[in-house]
Amino acid sequence: MPNPSSDGWSVASYIRFGLFCVLLLGGGLGGWAAFAKLQGAVVSSGQLRVESQRQVVQHPGRRRGR
């Protein structure tokens, strides 16, 4: 039989409590996601055109040659 800690909780109690919290959080977020009403969406149209000259796009902090 495992020894309870000084506050009276055993390791199994901590695990059960943690699993309960995870299930409560997951169930709450899942329920919200299932029943939340969406206000609307943004719909747009456009064209993508490839230019003949390629240009390298990269983060400004990571320059070549440094």
| Residue-wise pLDDT tens digits, 6-60 | 667 789 999 999 999 999 999 999 999 999 888 887 888 888 777 777 777 777 7
pLDDT score, position 24: 97
Residue 6 Cα distances to 2, 3, 20, 25, 41, angstroms: 13, 9, 22, 28, 54
pTM of the model: 0.46
Distance (Å, whole) CA 41 – CA 22 = 31
Residue 63 pLDDT class (50, 70, 90 cuts):
low
pLDDT score, position 65: 57
- The owner of tokens 């719909």 is 43
For residue 17, which amino acid is it?
F
Distance (Å, whole) CA 3 – CA 15 = 15
pLDDT score, position 3: 57
